[in-house]
């Protein structure tokens, strides 16, 4: 799908963006891969690894808050992955207007720029915190999700298709708890917000492969949710500092005890597959989706279904976490696991 195409990724200098660049260059032959971000230092650092003289890469400075710059950047682009966001929960509580400008107004600008340039597809990255949000960051991402889903209501078959990917915490990404735990483990004490806390986890390479697959499968209006494992925060602490003492510090403002990828209300419009869930914008779209392929393995979610980190059937043990932590020692390492999504209607 990406061969001989122009692909742009917003926030392309982040953890996801760097992994996306590596995987696309390793597996496809794009005509051009545009890294759109506002940090000139990070672009300079990426250029040392992927020089625009050697690879089909173009680095563009810009901010998703600037619609005119986006319209300029999107000229001739086939596919857009929207990964730019402000995402630190505590910072959002103290700087709400800044998060709204980037995460909400930025989403509006992406939609307008994509339509203006007749981009084929846009996939926007979301977060588990957008489902039943209790913090401002989650609320801005929920608003962003709604904007991208609704953008499909006013299009015909030749205009841009918009979809969303929603997944949990990314193992080893910038801002992950793992580097923090590794540093604090040297003191012999690890701070635990609550011993009951659970979280969803996905690796960077799995996240990229999932996004690429959803870009292929999306028809517009879907929210794709991968089926991923959960882990207990105390197990992660044990995996990193086996002999460390745990200090209970309490849940921070805006933080959940357990995280939610699909709530009961979302589940009414959700189709379940072996490797993912697909949330449709409404029941009519859900029923139409199921009717299109009667032989597909997808099934409607049962009444009262929810997909939360504490009711998951797939759990990571301490040993599982130790092995995964070892794989992310190198920022550019790649695991081979990926989603095939063979049971999802094409």
Is residue 250 in a domain?
no
Quick check: is 239 in a domain? no
Looking at per-residue confidence, does 168 or 32 come out higher? 32
The count of other CB atoms within 10 Å of the CB of residue 97 is 8
Q: What is the mean pLDDT of residues 77-97?
A: 94
Separation of alpha carbons 197 and 181, rounded Å:
15
pLDDT value, residue 104? 98
pLDDT in tens, 219-251: 999 999 999 999 999 999 999 998 999 999 998
User: Is 172 among the domain residues?
Assistant: no
Domain assignment present for 231: no
Concerning whether 120 is annotated as a catalytic residue, the answer is no
What three-state secondary structure class fits 267? helix
**Catalytic residue from among 19, 129, 141, 213:** 129
pLDDT band at 209 (very low <50, low <70, confident <90, very high): very high
Q: Which residue has the tokens 């745990």?
A: 246
Local structure of 247: helix, strand or coil: strand
Looking at the domain assignment, is residue 235 inside a domain? no
Instruction: Break the chain down into helix, strand, coil percent, rounded to 5.
Output: 40, 20, 40
Domain presence at residue 190? no
Say what percent of the chain tops pLDDT 70: 91
Q: What mean pLDDT is predicted for residues 253-261?
A: 90
Six-digit token string for 186: 């040297």
pLDDT in tens, 322-337: 988 877 654 434 444 5
pLDDT computed for residue 172 by the predictor: 65
From 32, 37, 31, 48, select the one nearest 15 (Cα to Cα). 37
User: Residue 136 has what pLDDT?
Assistant: 95
Tokens 């419009």 sit on residue: 269
User: What is d(CA 95, CA 92) in angstroms, rounded to the nearest whole number?
Assistant: 5
Residues β-bridged to residue 7: 33, 79
Cα–Cα separations (whole angstroms), residue 213 to 18, 209, 249, 339 = 18, 6, 40, 7
Q: pLDDT band for position 17 (50/70/90)?
A: very high
Among 122-136, 260-274, 288-302, the range scoring the smallest mean pLDDT is: 288-302
What is the rounded distance in angstroms from the CA atom of residue 135 to the CA atom of residue 89?
7
Better pLDDT: 297 or 257: 257
- Read off the pTM: 0.92
**Domain assignment present for 111:** yes
The domain containing residue 289 runs over which residues? 6-166+202-226+260-304
The total domain count for the chain is 1
- Give strand pairing partners of 279: 223, 270
**pLDDT tens digits, one per residue of 195-204:** 999 999 898 8
What does R_g of the chain's alpha carbons equal in angstroms? 20
Q: How far apart are CA 153 and CA 193, in angstroms?
A: 42
Q: How confident is the model at residue 295 (pLDDT cuts 50, 70, 90)?
A: low
Return d(Cα 92, Cα 319) in angstroms, integer.
34
The CATH number that applies at residue 54 is 3.40.50.720
| Phi (first) and psi of residue 301, to 5 degrees | -70, 140
Binned at pLDDT 50, 70 and 90, residue 177 comes out as: confident
Q: Which long-range contacts (CB under 8 A, 24 or more apart) does 311-317 make?
A: 312/198, 312/200, 312/229, 312/230, 314/227, 314/228, 314/229, 314/230, 315/229, 315/230, 315/231, 316/201, 316/229, 316/230, 316/231, 316/235, 317/235
Q: Is the pLDDT of residue 107 over 70?
A: yes
Share of the chain above pLDDT 90, in %: 75
How many CA atoms within 13 Å lie on the side-chain side of 32? 15
| pLDDT > 60? residue 25 | yes
pLDDT band at residue 128 using 50, 70 and 90 as cut-offs: very high
Q: Within a domain: residue 340?
A: no
Which phi and psi (to 5°) does residue 276 adopt? -165, 170
């Amino acid at each position: 799908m990406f061969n001989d195409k122009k692909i742009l990724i917003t926030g392309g200098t982040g953890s996801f963006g760097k992994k996306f660049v590596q995987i696309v260059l390793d597996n496809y032959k794009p005509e051009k891969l545009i890294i759109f971000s506002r940090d000139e230092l990070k672009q300079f650092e990426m250029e040392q690894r992927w020089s625009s003289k050697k690879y089909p890469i173009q680095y563009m400075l810009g901010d998703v808050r600037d619609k005119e710059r986006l319209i300029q950047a999107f000229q001739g682009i086939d596919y857009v992955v929207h990964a730019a966001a402000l995402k630190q929960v505590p910072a959002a509580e103290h700087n709400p207007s800044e998060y709204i400008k980037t995460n909400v107004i930025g989403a509006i600008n992406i939609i307008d720029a994509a339509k203006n340039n007749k981009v084929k597809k846009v996939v926007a990255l979301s977060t588990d915190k957008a489902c039943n949000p209790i913090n401002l960051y989650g609320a801005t991402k929920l608003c962003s999700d709604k904007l991208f889903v609704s953008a499909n209501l006013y299009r015909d078959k030749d205009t841009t298709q918009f979809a969303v990917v929603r997944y949990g915490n990314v193992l080893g990404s910038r801002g992950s708890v793992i580097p923090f735990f590794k540093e604090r483990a040297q003191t012999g004490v690890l701070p635990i917000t609550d011993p009951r806390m659970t979280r969803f986890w996905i690796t960077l390479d799995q996240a990229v492969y999932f996004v690429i697959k959803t870009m292929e499968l999306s028809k517009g209006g879907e929210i794709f949710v991968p089926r991923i494992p959960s882990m207990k925060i105390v197990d992660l602490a044990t995996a990193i500092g086996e002999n460390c003492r745990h200090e209970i510090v309490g849940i921070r403002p805006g933080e959940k005890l357990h995280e939610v990828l699909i709530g009961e209300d979302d589940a009414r419009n959700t189709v379940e597959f072996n490797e993912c869930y697909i949330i449709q914008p409404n029941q009519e779209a859900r029923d139409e989706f199921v009717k299109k392929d009667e032989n597909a393995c997808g099934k409607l979610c049962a009444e009262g279904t929810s997909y939360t980190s504490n009711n998951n059937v797939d759990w990571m043990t301490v040993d599982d976490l130790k092995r995964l932590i070892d794989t992310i020692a190198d920022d550019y390492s790649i695991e081979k696991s990926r989603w095939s999504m063979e049971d999802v209607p094409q």
